[in-house]
Amino acid sequence: MSVSLECCPPVELAADAERFEHEGLLASAWSHARSLGAERYELSLGVSNLHCPSCIDQIERSLSGLEGVEQARVNLSTRRLFVRWRQDVSDLDGIIAKVTALGYRLAPLDSDSRTKAGNREERELLRAVALAGFAAANVMLLSVSVWSGLVSDMGPATRALMHWVSALIALPTIVIAGRPFFRSAVAALGGGRMNMDVPISLAVTLAAGMSLSETMRGGEHVYFDAAVTLLFFLLIGRYLDLRIRGKARSAAENLMAMRAASATVIDPDGSQRRLAAAQVEPGMLVAIAPGERIPVDGRVEQGRSDIDTALVTGETLPRTVEEGGEVFAGTVNLNAAIRVRVTSTEDSTLLAEIVHLMEAAEQGRARYQRLADRVARAYAPVVHILAAVTFLGWLWAGSLDWQLALLTAVAVLIITCPCALGLAVPAVQVAAVDRLLRQGILVKSADGLERLAQADVVVFDKTGTLTQGRPELINATNLTAEDLRLAAGLAAASKHPLARAVCRTAEARGIITVPADAVGETPGMGLSAAVNGRELRLGNRRWCGIADQAETTAAGADTGSGLDMELWLAEADRAPVRFRFHDALRPDARQCVVQLRKRGLEVELLSGDRPGPVRQVAESLGIETWHAECRPDAKIARLKTLAARGKRVLMVGDGLNDAPALSEAFVSISPADASEISQTAADLIFQGDSLDALIEAQVVAGAARRLVLQNFSLTFLYNAIAVPFAMAGMVTPLVAAVAMSVSSIVVTLNSLRLYAIQRRPKDRPPPQPQPSRPDLSLLELNRGGRAQS
Amino acid sequence: MTALMYLMPAALFLGLLGVAAFYWSLRSGQFDDLDGAAHRILFDDEDEDEKKDRPPEE
């Protein structure tokens, strides 16, 4: 269910949030729905928590029970629901409510051109695979007859017939099924580049052409079977590659759609309506309720509230905004209703800077050349020169007629033909991406894994990446249960992160709290209420009336830094009680850093937060190099410095302020709860709380690179043996067919080893004894860090 | 060898029939959700006439 799991949610706020969520979902669903005319509509929605097959049944059954729903179909592969309904009979409202009531979260998706294009490409490839498969089987059948005929009693007329039938099957197949390769080869050559498809296209075309001319001359050897089988194998590799990447991409799209927001727009006449965030235009006035995620960038027109900006600036503590202050999409309004005038991106200083930096970073990012293309660039000329030498050698020195000499040269092309080379990368890629996908790690960019394997420095953002991005109470053990109970009673009314932390701790300690009545909240200050006839206050120092002088020294003596987050609980007749907080580390952050080091990577910390907390985190994790108060441009500057030193940087970050750095870095990873811009910029996305995903991705990327290199070595070895025979003219079509199949199968089997590669036991995180004990988290780590460093 | 005269066309015809069947199943969306299809066979059938017999053309 969509009810948050946090303790003591104030009833009316929770209900509000739920209503907002439903209305927002409805608004954005309508903006994505496609009208089919006559009150009929269709819509695709991403569905979260869709794991088991019975979910399909449950959703489809409940929807097809609704009057007016013409079709409801769940796709388990893409985790999407497709509905077509008649609006005059059944309202979209009811449809959505029905599914959310079952406990699934929905996110409307564009049935946009990009997904469709991807789908069409996938189908075209699958069709080509089927055609090539059919042709390969039948041509091979005919070829086997010819081969056995050569050593028995087949007459030349029968052989010629077989050859003609082969040509009849093979030539149209090559023209149709070879198109993906021809297109890509032409594009590469047109752009002055070289890729694997150039030698493939050349070999296939030449083999087919030569075989046709041999058929006409009534020759003994034709290579139709080799040409078609080659296409068949390569098309399979290409299809699997496209499919697995499409799967990762659609999962990423679902993730982002889940986060898409909606806004309550106030029209000039004072009426309110809900709009999808994408439909809101600059100049509109938007009302933002307490607890709502701010859907737009804008300036506050009315009201004063605390804003949780962790996702934007990387600061853990909320910022208080007043009229005229800037707010950003993705931040959370904590305690009071505000009205915001929407500004366009150009008007906002921070966002304009981020967009500008990202554009610069993307342009500046050196065009990475994929391993396969680099191999092709070196390999293709060699093969083509060898073929030319063979042709000329036989023509002059061997005094063959030109057709026979060309046939031998074609045999060289076919035997060296990059069938195994063409499979070397995609086969490994498919296995690696699939393995990661199963663990919730999405590989977004095609060469992301390849680049990840080469990274040698890891740069972390702090808030939300190494830490959980939310404060936890750390001195709970020094507090009496009574204080905690009183504080939690007040805190229950607030969405402020510190207040939520108090509630969580109270719940963890099993303290039953009674939410106080009529709690007043003053943004930037604190909470107050009358409990048992006396005024009780929970808030910052000023709110609780503590003299500035006194607590500065007290705080300084207490922590050594004075930069802790804190709350005070004040009652009329006794000394105020202090609650101290820290942004707790992710449970396995330390493990992760240690393992990255073990794997030979340097680790750095770059944060937008103040030096105090950054140093604390760096020290407790044993990270020596850290920089605090980094604005987005400072992060980029640091990455540039590292790159200039020849380092390949893996950037891990989640905030909006990390987005430029994520595009600038050699390779980048974001958690799934990162800001949308960061997810778009990142090469990989991992789901879940555990940083162990980072290690897993790194291990798999490394293994994938090793396997790819092994595959290349295998094919080179095979070529080194086979090429001399081919040049000597000793390779008949039969030998070519056997050699090609064997090398392809060897490469594919070798790639499948990726599933079997286990992480060494020391790379695995030890079982976390008690993953969430908020009051211990950082203190323990602190102590551990000192002891071990 | 005269057997070839009808065996070869017969083999090719059957092969093409297979390709055509595959194209049809592809066009009608039977390859869109392979994970789901593996499980759908286990569901109880609908009693009323099927509301969802044709998959979406995405």
A617 plus A652 within the same structural domain: yes
Could you tell me if A165 lies within 8 Å of chain B, comparing CB atoms?
yes
CB spacing of A161 vs B4 below 8 angstroms: yes
CA-based nearest distance B2→chain A, Å: 10
Packed helices A371-396 and A419-438: angle between N→C axes, nearest 10 degrees = 170
pLDDT < 70 regions, chain A: 1-20, 111-117, 259-260, 314, 345-349, 363-368, 417-418, 547-564, 759-789
Give the DSSP H or E segment for A538: strand A534-539
Q: Which residues contact A21 (CB under 8 A, 6 or more apart)?
A: A2
Q: Which residue, A552, A584, A616, sits at the end of a domain?
A: A584
Could you tell me if A173 lies within 8 Å of chain B, comparing CB atoms?
no
pLDDT score recorded for residue B21? 94
A541 plus A455 within the same structural domain: no
Examine residue A775 and state whether it is found in any structural domain, yes or no.
no
Please tell me what DSSP assigns to residue B56: P
Query: Which residues of chain A neighbour B23 with C-beta distances below 8 Å?
Result: 127, 130
Strands (DSSP E) contained in A447-573 are 457-460, 467-473, 520-522, 526-531, 534-539, 565-571
- The partner residue sitting opposite B39, judged by closest CB among A56, A127, A158, is A56
Q: A545 — phi, psi (to 5°)?
A: 65, 40
A499 plus A580 within the same structural domain: yes
Could you tell me if A182 lies within 8 Å of chain B, comparing CB atoms?
no
- The partner residue sitting opposite B32, judged by closest CB among A42, A75, A161, is A75
CA closest to B55 among chain A residues:
A73
CB spacing of A82 vs B40 below 8 angstroms: no
Query: Which residues of chain A neighbour B15 with C-beta distances below 8 Å?
Result: 134, 137-138
A76 burial via Cβ count (<10 Å: 0-12, 13-18, 19+):
buried
CB spacing of A60 vs B55 below 8 angstroms: no
Q: How far apart are CA A125 and CA A179, in angstroms?
A: 10
CB spacing of A82 vs B1 below 8 angstroms: no
Examine residue A270 and state whether it is found in any structural domain, yes or no.
no
| Nearest Cα residue to A661 out of A648, A678, A673 | A678
> CB A720: neighbour CB atoms within 10 A?
9
Q: Which residues of A are catalytic?
A: 461
- The partner residue sitting opposite B23, judged by closest CB among A82, A127, A142, is A127
A427 burial via Cβ count (<10 Å: 0-12, 13-18, 19+):
buried
A556 plus A607 within the same structural domain: no
A603 plus A578 within the same structural domain: no
Strand-pair category, A319-321 with A534-539: unpaired
- The partner residue sitting opposite A74, judged by closest CB among B26, B36, B51, is B36
Q: Which domain holds residue A662?
A: 439-468+586-702
Could you tell me if A113 lies within 8 Å of chain B, comparing CB atoms?
no
Q: How many residues are present in chain A? A: 789
CA-based nearest distance B8→chain A, Å: 9
Inter-residue contact A128 to A235 (CB < 8 Å): yes
A611 plus A555 within the same structural domain: no
Q: How far apart are CA A691 and CA A591, in angstroms?
A: 9
- The partner residue sitting opposite B36, judged by closest CB among A44, A70, A75, is A75
Residue of A42, A67, A122, A134 to mutate for B, most B C-beta atoms under 10 A: A134
Torsion sign across C-alpha atoms A245, A248, A253, A256: negative
Rg (CA), chain A: 32
Query: Which residues of chain B neighbour A60 with C-beta distances below 8 Å?
Result: 52
Mind listing the pLDDT tens digit for each residue in B21-54?
A: 999 998 888 887 877 888 888 877 655 444 445 5
pLDDT score recorded for residue A771? 40
Query: Which residues of chain A neighbour B26 with C-beta distances below 8 Å?
Result: 123, 126-127, 130
CA closest to B21 among chain A residues:
A130
CA distance to A5, A21, A210, A214, per residue, from A467 (Å): 20, 27, 65, 70
A650 plus A517 within the same structural domain: no
Inter-residue contact B12 to A135 (CB < 8 Å): no
A546 plus A513 within the same structural domain: yes
Inter-residue contact A109 to A44 (CB < 8 Å): yes
> CB A35: neighbour CB atoms within 10 A?
10
Query: Which residues of chain B neighbour A69 with C-beta distances below 8 Å?
Result: 51
Torsion sign across C-alpha atoms A109, A669, A434, B42: negative
| Nearest Cα residue to A6 out of A494, A596, A406, A413 | A494
CB spacing of A137 vs B43 below 8 angstroms: no
CATH of the domain at A639: 3.40.50.1000
CB spacing of B43 vs A57 below 8 angstroms: yes
- The partner residue sitting opposite B15, judged by closest CB among A60, A76, A134, is A134
Query: Which residues of chain A neighbour B7 with C-beta distances below 8 Å?
Result: none
Could you tell me if B7 lies within 8 Å of chain A, comparing CB atoms?
no
Inter-residue contact A70 to A106 (CB < 8 Å): no
Q: How far apart are CA A62 and CA A72, in angstroms?
A: 9
CA distance to A328, A448, A653, A656, A677, per residue, from A352 (Å): 12, 27, 20, 12, 13
pLDDT score recorded for residue A768? 45
Examine residue A258 and state whether it is found in any structural domain, yes or no.
no
Q: Which residue, A561, A584, A607, sits at the end of a domain?
A: A584
Strand-pair category, A69-75 with A34-37: unpaired
A580 plus A492 within the same structural domain: yes
Provide the β-strand partners of residue A72: A83
Residue of A55, A73, A141, A173 to mutate for B, most B C-beta atoms under 10 A: A73
Examine residue A194 and state whether it is found in any structural domain, yes or no.
no
Inter-residue contact A237 to A422 (CB < 8 Å): yes
Examine residue A494 and state whether it is found in any structural domain, yes or no.
yes
A523 plus A671 within the same structural domain: no
Could you tell me if A124 lies within 8 Å of chain B, comparing CB atoms?
no
Q: How far apart are CA B30 and CA B55, in angstroms?
A: 8
Could you tell me if A76 lies within 8 Å of chain B, comparing CB atoms?
yes
What number is the ipTM of this complex?
0.79
Could you tell me if A53 lies within 8 Å of chain B, comparing CB atoms?
yes
pLDDT score recorded for residue B47? 53
Could you tell me if B8 lies within 8 Å of chain A, comparing CB atoms?
yes
- The partner residue sitting opposite A73, judged by closest CB among B18, B43, B52, is B52
Could you tell me if A72 lies within 8 Å of chain B, comparing CB atoms?
yes
CATH of the domain at A59: 3.30.70.100
pLDDT score recorded for residue A136? 92
> CB A535: neighbour CB atoms within 10 A?
11
Examine residue A713 and state whether it is found in any structural domain, yes or no.
no
- The partner residue sitting opposite A138, judged by closest CB among B1, B11, B31, is B11
Packed helices A733-756 and A113-150: angle between N→C axes, nearest 10 degrees = 140
pLDDT score recorded for residue A131? 94
CATH of the domain at A533: 3.40.1110.10
pLDDT score recorded for residue A186? 92
Packed helices A156-177 and A224-259: angle between N→C axes, nearest 10 degrees = 20
CA-based nearest distance A132→chain B, Å: 10
Q: Which residue, A538, A557, A584, sits at the end of a domain?
A: A584
What distance, in Å, lies between the first and last C-alpha atoms of chain A?
Answer: 44
- The partner residue sitting opposite B19, judged by closest CB among A75, A130, A141, is A130
Chain B stretch 25-54, residues whose beta carbon is closer than 8 A to a beta carbon of chain A: 26, 31-36, 39-40, 42-43, 46, 51-52, 54
Mind listing the pLDDT tens digit for each residue in A289-310?
A: 877 788 888 888 888 888 887 7
The total number of structural domains that make up chain A: 3
Give the DSSP H or E segment for A602: strand A602-606
Could you tell me if B12 lies within 8 Å of chain A, comparing CB atoms?
yes
A574 plus A614 within the same structural domain: no
CA-based nearest distance A433→chain B, Å: 17
Examine residue A333 and state whether it is found in any structural domain, yes or no.
no
Rg (CA), chain B: 18
Examine residue A656 and state whether it is found in any structural domain, yes or no.
yes
Residue of B35, B41, B44, B46 to mutate for A, most A C-beta atoms under 10 A: B35
Instruction: Tell me if the pTM is above 0.80.
Output: no
A569 plus A611 within the same structural domain: no
CA closest to A135 among chain B residues:
B15
Q: How far apart are CA A652 and CA A466, in angstroms?
A: 9
Residue of B8, B52, B53, B57 to mutate for A, most A C-beta atoms under 10 A: B52
Q: How far apart are CA A137 and CA A134, in angstroms?
A: 5
Q: How far apart are CA B56 and CA A83, in angstroms?
A: 9
Identify the residue whose tokens are 């049809």: B24
